[in-house]
Amino acid sequence: MVKSIITGAAGFIGSHLVEALLKQGEEVIGIDEFNDYYNPALKRQNIAHLQNHPSFKLIEGDIQFLDLQTLLEDVDVVYHQAAQAGVRASWGPSFRAYTERNINATQVLLEAAKNAKNLKRLVFASTSSVYGNAETLPTQEEICPQPVSPYGITKLAAERLCRLYYKNFGVPFVALRYFTVYGPRQRPDMAFHKFFKAVLQNQTIPIYGDGEQTRDYTFVSDAIAANLAAATVPKAVGEIFNIGGGSRVVLTQVLDTMEEVVGKHIKRNHIEKAMGDARHTAADISKAREILGYQPQVSLKEGLTQEWYWVKSLHT
């Protein structure tokens, strides 16, 4: 039986990954700190239905202070999803949380991984934020990263650490640069969750800037499929992959699609552009398609519909 560790197991993507691995018949150890970046009760709710699963064990704690050496002894795959997320919150005094949880925690995990005899793969959750305002769209993995937020800087540093440990100690890492993942269990500070909640409460949606910014939106089940492939495809070791939704969409178009999903007009209020937000993101996913067999399956409208039902169930 394959044994995996998922860090950030109770989070948005982590909890979906736990579910997918248990469905495949794997043994899963979940690690989560349940910090207060957003309401820990939401994270507990994400994995409540899995708590009594015979193949799942949840460890509560900070990665930096766990006995990782022992935990990793007979583990086949580590999915390192845990991170301090949020572009806008990474400025100012909260930056320390980003260096601790994105850089230091990753280094501690890599130190343990280099001595783990059975480890076949360490899949690192990276982000499109490492690109910043990319010079070319869609963006290929080879382009020079130029983060425009402190968050992006810390994620790039962690990704580079993974590569160092691969080059020097043979840690079999794969990095996945996620492009704006959405869907059920999305964090409450993320746009779609906020927008749908505002619709339910009949509030105006705040739009940063002119609304003409574009994003590559990736449904959560597609991100999970990418993780499962990254953990098993031999050619993936040592590689970095863009994981996008396959199409770049203007924010105003997204809101139009949301109106179709919710069946009513959405009130919009334009506010000042946010610091650290890239103007456009678009993933060139040809490398992931070729090596991982990655192919996004869920359209934006279908994905938004699923998230809308989930947000309604959460807030009504």
Phi, psi angle pair for 4, to nearest 5°? -125, 155
Instruction: Verify cis geometry, omega within 30 degrees of 0, for the bond prior to 172.
Output: no
Identified catalytic residue from 98, 131, 151, 217: 151
Contact between 151 and 203 under an 8 Å Cβ cutoff? The reply is no
Distance of CA 294 to the CA centre of its chain: 16
Q: Give the whole-angstrom CA distance, residue 102 versus residue 51.
A: 26
State yes or no: is 151 an active-site residue.
Answer: yes
> Which pair of structure tokens corresponds to residue 129?
């934020």
**Six token digits for residue 111:** 């130190």
3-state secondary structure of 16: helix
Are 247 and 281 spatial neighbours (Cβ–Cβ below 8 Å)? no
Going by the DSSP 8-state scheme, the letter that residue 104 receives in this structure is I
The residues annotated as belonging to the active site are 151
